[in-house]
Every structure is written in structure tokens, then in C-alpha cells.
Structure 1
Amino acid sequence: MGQVPLPSDVKPTCVVSEADFAKWFQSGSVSPGGAVLPADSVNFPLDNTNCDFYKWSWQMFLWMNSPTDTGAGIVFDGAEFYDVSPGGSSGKRVLLPNTKVDSFLTRTRKTGVIKNGVPTDETGQAGGGGTLMAQSGSLLYYGLHVNNVYAYFLTGQKTGALTQTTFPTTAADLAAINKYAGFTLPDGQALSLELKTSWVEAETLESIGLDSSQYVLVQGSIPTYAKTDTTWTPSGTTTTTMALVGMHIVGSVQGHPEMIWASFEHINNCPANSYDYTTTSGATGTVPYNSDGRWLLTQSGAMTSGANSELMNTNSDGVITAKPGQQIGPSNVYRVFPWGNLGNDAKDNTDIVSINLSVLSQLPQSDVRSNYVMIGALWNQHGNLPPGGNQIGSKTMANSTMETFHQDASMNCFSCHQGTSFGQDDLSHIYFNIVPVIPTK
């Protein structure tokens, strides 16, 4: 089957030592599916290197997809995280405690399927209402999630109980949030975290030769449709197993209130464009575009021409409509900027390939998390809030499952997420519209 190419002769410019990697695990030793600790955002090094940001990203991904302390589910779908509802007709969002079955829906600009009486996880592409379908026939579905620190900070800040004007970055900030909450938040050292996740129906994977056991899985409720070639109209819901195919991790750390913006994908999502990297001998190596094999989002042998085409979108009522002259169906996808930088940017490509190989070579192959790669991470030099500031890391990062139709050299996370306040459409697009109430769990 196809998978993201990681050249074994890459220069090891960003690595995690065996001793440090073992310390990421709660038990102090690496084990398949073992529980990982969250990265310590409070003590994130001020005298840092790019590699420190990439290590933080990988440790957070492994933690969020670790088993919970109770063994029931995974961390980001457990008690320390909240789902964020879609905006609804009023634009307002609410925080929802996690339940055994998550609700997923296709991209809508207003409302959608209900969870506990409230619309929940939405699906959709950045920059609009474009809807993506896998080669298996499954739509892609999306969820928004925040952790406990984000939830209590937002509620305290919006109600005037907390005076911070940026996301928390220090021990003093965390102490103030704990005081407001009235207890010490579990894993508070992770500081403020916002996630976006992408999913497909697991039962469809076998039809294209992929194995659902190689994916992080959750139970989900998704819409059913009355279908024609050009229009799908919601007709009900069904409960099924959902497979994780992408994740954005956005979090504040010491010295960086603008937050680190990291992204991960499953290795079998789609082929990557050609890219250069530095070899162990100091030469420049090139990994060519190659679509041969079995991919979730791409037909084997597909060319880049005509790929990443938006064929349909979803209106505010949840109705999926094909664009003029098109039918509802899958389009071929590829990652234009494989590691969030230009293909000829060997230096930055090398760093990300290196950290991926370092982590994946130490993670047991039987660990389901070993089937994902970090495609990049972005932050600002000296923690300056966007716009402005020198952007560092993956400056053209786009997740093939979330920004499929908006992969452009002039765009990245900070193209849309910017501003020095918590106003509408500022740094966090959901912050302004979330109702400041912590739900009872």
C-alpha cells in the first residue's frame, strides 16, 4: 500500500534520544500503546531550537492518543477535553463533555446533527464549505476540541474573573486558572490546547485495501442521506466506528502566546509532492512524487494535474450539492508541500523528516500511533502575535484532509488566525463565539 516516504539516509538534524523518549511514557519505558505524558508547556525552553517545537508537537500527539487513566478511550476523547459545538444559526458555540459516542457531520456553515440536544462536531475544509470524499466513498468528518485549561481560562477570562489578555504561558498564569477553577486541573502543564480532527468511516477502509486496525478509532454518530448523483439530503443518523486521519494541535507554551500550530496525518492519506532533503553525507537527496499504491484520498497512479479539486460543498441545512458540471464523489488529493515548506527547502524538510524517523524508529510498530506522521509545525519568533513577527517552521503547512483545496505557497495557519485579542476571527476562530459556561461532567 502507499505511504508517506521517509528516506532512511536523512541527516539526523532533529532527534529524541532513547533516554528522553522513554521519559515521555508514564511508566518510564516505551511500550506498545503505552500512556504518554503531556509535554511540559509551562517549562518549554526559552532558549529553544526548532527541534524543541517539533518534539513538543510529537509528544502532545502521542499523549492525546494515549489510553486514559481509566482505560476507557483515549485522552482527547476523555474527561480532560471538551467537544466544541458548531456555531448554529446564532454563531454561538458551547462546550460539551465527551460521551461514549461522538457525533460527526458534513460541512455546514450553521447547524447540524445534535449531541445531547446541541449540534456538535462539524466537518469541513478551511476557507469555505468544501466537502471531501475518500476513495472508499466515506465523507470526511471533522471535530473541534479544547482541553480543560482552555475551557476554564476562556470562562474565567470572558466573565472577568481572569485578567490575562493572551493565552496562558507561565506557571503564574496556570496558578490563576487553577485558583479560578477551585482545584488543580489534571495535566495542567499542557497549558491551553485547541484541536481539530478529521475522520472517515472505518468500515469503508477495507474496500480500498486499507486496514482499520492501523487507525485510532472512536464510535461516532454520522448523518445518513437520500442520494442522487448531484445532491445528498440528510435523512437521519447512524452509529459507526470512525477512523482518525488528521489532527491539528494548537497550544500555548512558555514564551509563545501565539501558540504552536502542529499538524499530523495518517501515512496512507495521500502521496506527497517531490521534495529535497539533506543526506547523512551532506548531499541533497530528492524524494519524487509517487502515487502508486493504495491511498485513502488518491487513486493509484494519479497525476498531480487536476488533483485537489473541490467537487461539492455543503449548505447550512447539511445538504451536499455537487458543483456545476460535477457529481458527488472522490477527487484525487496530494500534499503540495510535503513538510509544510517548499519542495526545494532541504533544510526545513530535513528537520521534520528527521524527527519523524527518530520517533517512529523508537515507537513499536504494533502501536497504532506509529501510523501517523507530523507534517509540520508553525510558530512566531520571540512569541510575537500575528500578523507581524518572523514566522518559523512550516510556513506553507496544509493538512491534506483539512486544507485540501487551499494549499498555496502564500498561505498557512497565520494567514487566517491572527490578531492580538480574543475578538471574532482573531487568533482563535472559535474563542469569541464559545459561551463561557463549563458544563457539568
Structure 2
Amino acid sequence: MNQFTCGAGVCAGLLAASMAFTRPAPAATPDPAPGGCNAPASWFSGRSVPKPDPGNAAQFNSNCAFHQFSWQSFLWLTQVAAPGKLRFETLYSDRAIVPGAPRPREHVLGGVNQANSHGILVDQNGRAVYTAMMIDDVYRNFVIKNQLYTAEGMQKADAGMVFPNGALSLKSTWKIVAPGEDASRFYTTDATIELLSKVDGGVGIDANPKTARAKVALVGLHVAVVVAGHPEAIWATFEHVDNAPDFGADQRPSDVVSEHSYTFYKGGTIAADCNANNASIIELDARTQILSPPTQACRQYRTGAGDLSNVNNIDSLNHSVLSQLAPRSPWKNYREVGAVWFKGKNKLVPDWTPNVDPNPMTGSTLLSSAVIETFTQNTTSENGCFSCHNTMAVTDTNDITRTLSGKNINTSHILLQKYLNVATVKR
């Protein structure tokens, strides 16, 4: 079946090229060992998962509690909330931080170049992986009220200003489903994608891109929620279990990571050939939208690292949630990779980065997504959420009027992208 509707002869090329590829068979995923961190039965006993309460400070009293909040958020966000749409698909687009933005809840998949590395995750069919960013009404109302969508508003904002409890932002990550490809293990939907072109000597999406309709499968969801006592937000990453293999604890560069094939990994690939940044070598056939070479993605830190209790809690909670989901639920094929937040009484302060002071962080302190931060997992200054989402000053601009002092709200790249008017924010 042709999954595309577009003009100028583009669809014929897309269909012909995608027919030449087949998705590798899903790799087997072992059940994690059960432990002491479990999902309450009440999440699954009613018609819907209760909305998590970000204002109840008393609940955030253990490592397990933060992971429970993350999983509950994921389940709540992935419930059907409107005909043909999950709750996260009904949120505002990140473009909606500007008052009067047209079609504020329309989600066009227009992100392909990954932050900092500028590489593009290419699946085994040769297609780019796309992203979209979304925000809730708490986040949007706070930004508009304080005029943080303008350069002047960002400059005037107090350095200690923080997002209110419940402010939520997320990044969804999608793989294009080839005609005839089995996507039964994924949540799928039809979406508008922006087509690739050659941009500034590389590959990306230009300022006025052509678009197409495509069937897409969800491969990752990155969720950040501000909760009571934690204005830094809980940053949690969820991925499909078929995405990529994990490095072993004693993984050597010359050793094969897995004999199984995954969505973004060809079985038998050695570790040294994983997560290679392709920004300078990637090639595009603009007519078919096929990229080469395909990416061999691996997950460097299985749970985003953390101490033994953090690892055990993630494994236990994943096991508990998946065992209680309905047998045919597509969400049985997704899991929490990890989550990171601040420990104890550590407070978010301006001009902070974990690259200088990692002490405030706890949980999955080296958390990266294999499908969102594929190429920076082994870069010490970039292999964790707060490594980029910190409160440091923004000075990497040639326009002095666009530099920004260190502020707590600088953790949100949605604000910085709009403020700087650039595709990515470098730190």
C-alpha cells in the first residue's frame, strides 16, 4: 500500500526505494528480573491510568518514586484522548509558545538533525528518523505570561525564575514504516513529514520544505516534567525494545554487540562501528529520500548508568508495568531506559552545568536515548540530559544582542531555539 500523498513525482520514488528494503526481524527481549519497585495495580484497574500529580511533594521520597512518576506519566500520555489520537498527540506544538501561532496543536515531523552532533539517525531501510516537540498548557501559559518567546522577555527574566509544577515538554521520535513492513509491535499513525534536501553542504530540512504524508512508528519518547521541589524537572526516556542492543558491561570495541538485528542495528556489527556520527559523510537521494549509509545504533549505558539501586528499580518497575498491561497493548514493547533528577535538597541555580559539578544529579546520570542522542553517548560533556539542558549562559552567537546570561529557565531548549532563532542550541 502506498503510505504517501504528495506531488511533483516524489511519492513514486519514495515507494520504489522503500520497497527495496525490509525491516530486520525483531530481536528477542529478555524480561528484567523482578525486584522491589513496582507499579500500583490501581494504574491498571480502571478505564484509564490516573493523571500523575506533580504537586504532591511527599510522594518524591525515594529513587523508586521518581521512576514510578515517570512511568505513570508515559502511560497517561499514551492513552487515547481524542478520536484517533493519544494524549501526547493532542498537546501544543513547541511553536505554540508564540501567542496566536497558527494551528497550535498541529504536529509536523520536522526534526532530523540531532542536537550537537548534527548527525541523522538512518534506519536499516535508509530513511531518516524524525522528531517533534510538544508542550502542555502549564508550560505554554507560563511562557506567554512572562513573554519568554521574545528576546526582550528572556533578557528581563530573573535568573532564578523556574517553571511551575506540571510544566511538561516532550520529544517524540518516529520511524517511517515502509510499505509492506510489519509494524505490529509499534504504535503507528499517519503524519506529515518535511522532506529532506541538501542544506549548507550537508543534509537536513530547508526553511521552506516540501511535505509528504507517511505512516510512522513511535520509537522513542523523551519526557521532562517539573514537579514539587524539583524545578530542574524529572527527565525520563522511553524507547521501543527493538530499537538497539545494549553494550555489555565489559564491551570491547572489536567485539560484536549482538548477533540479533534490531530496527537500527544489523546483527553482527562490532561496537566500534556503532553510533558513528554521519554528519560529514551522509548522502541523500532527494528523489527517493533514501539516505546512506544506515546507522548502526547501540545503547552505551543500558539504564543511563546510576548506582545499583537505580538499575534494580528500573528493571523491577519495567517488569512490573509490562506484566500488568493488557496482552495486546502496544506499550508492552516499550520500556523506561532511565530518568534523572536532583537529589536531596540540591537546588537548581543559574550558571550550573554537571560538566563542572555533577554532584546534584541522581538517578540515571548518564542518560541518553539511542534514537535521540545516538551520536553523543560516548562524549563526556554531552552524555546526559543535564549536560545540555543546564543553566549556563548562552554565548555561542555572533550577535551580542542574542547572548543570554545564566538562568534557570535555560534548561529548556524550546525557549532557547525560539530566542536564538536557530535550529539547535550548542553548549
Normalising by the smaller structure, the TM-score range is: 0.7 to 0.9
Structure 1 counterpart of 2:231: 257
Aligned to 1:309: 276
Residue 4 and residue 416 in structure 1: after superposition, are their counterparts in 2 closer, same or farther (change >3 A)? farther
**Map of 1:228-247 to 2, 5 A cutoff?**
236-247=210-221
Matched, 1:152 2:162: no
2:161 counterpart SS class? coil
For residue 41 of structure 1, report the CA deviation from its aligned partner: 0.7
User: Residues 332-379 of structure 1, C-alpha deviation per residue, up to 9 Å, x if partnerless?
Assistant: 11101010007xx54332221111001001112311111111000000
Alignment equivalent of 1:61, drawn from 69, 74, 77: 74
Cα deviations across residues 183-222 of structure 1 (Å, max 9, x unaligned)?
xxxxxxxx1101011111123682xxxx313222232122
Q: 1:271 & 1:393 partners in 2: Cα distance?
A: 21
What one-letter code is carried by the residue in structure 2 that aligns with 1:72?
G
Q: Is the 8 A contact 1:82 1:98 kept in 2?
A: yes
In the superposition, relative to structure 1, how do residues 357 and 332 fare at CA in structure 2: closer, same or farther (>3 Å)? same
- 5+ residue gaps, structure 2, are 1-24, 286-290, 393-404, 420-427
Equivalent residues, number: 352
Is 1:165 matched with 2:154? no
- Residue 187 of structure 1 corresponds to none
Contact preservation (8 Å) 1:221, 1:240: yes
Call closer, same or farther: CA 1:93–1:199 in 2, change over 3 Å.
Answer: farther
The equivalent of 2:92 in structure 1 is 82
TM-score w.r.t. the length of structure 2 is 0.72
2:122 to 125, 133, 148: 133
Give the match's secondary structure for 1:135. Answer: coil
Q: Determine whether 1:97 maps to 2:104.
A: yes
Equivalent-residue separation in structure 1 for 2:29 and 2:280 (angstroms) = 31
Partner amino acid for 2:188?
Answer: L
1:168-195 CA-partner distances (Å, limit 9, x unpaired)? 13xxxxxxxxxxxxxxxxxxxxx11010
2:365 equivalent to 1:418:
no
Aligned sequence identity (%): 27
1:25-424 alignment runs, 5 A limit: 28-29=45-46, 35-45=48-58, 48-68=61-81, 70-78=82-90, 81-85=91-95, 96-99=103-106, 102-105=107-110, 122-158=111-147, 165-169=161-165, 191-203=166-178, 206=181, 211-224=182-195, 236-275=210-249, 291-312=258-279, 328-341=292-305, 345-381=307-343, 382=345, 384-385=347-348, 386-387=352-353, 388=357, 389-408=359-378, 410=380, 411-419=383-391, 423=407
How far apart in 1 are the matches of 2:294 and 2:256? 20
Aligned residues of 2:112 and 2:204 also touching (Cα < 8 A): no
d(CA) in 2 for partners of 1:422, 1:154: 17
**Superimposed CA distance per residue, residues 405-438 of structure 1 (whole angstroms, 9 cap, x where no aligned partner):** 0003733111111118885982111124548xxx
State how far apart, in whole Å, the 2-side matches of 1:223 and 1:217 are. 18
Preserved contact between residue 396 and residue 408 of structure 1 (Cα < 8 Å): no
- What amino acid maps onto 1:412 in structure 2? G
Q: CA RMSD in A?
A: 3.6
Cα shift readout 1:14-70 (whole Å, capped 9, x = no counterpart): 11232x333xxxxx43xxxx63232111114255101111011111111111101x4
| 2:39 counterpart residue number | 16
Distance 2:204 2:232 in 1: 40
Measured in 1, the distance between the counterparts of 2:193 and 2:337 equals 28
> TM-score scaled by structure 1?
0.70
1:393 partner letter = G
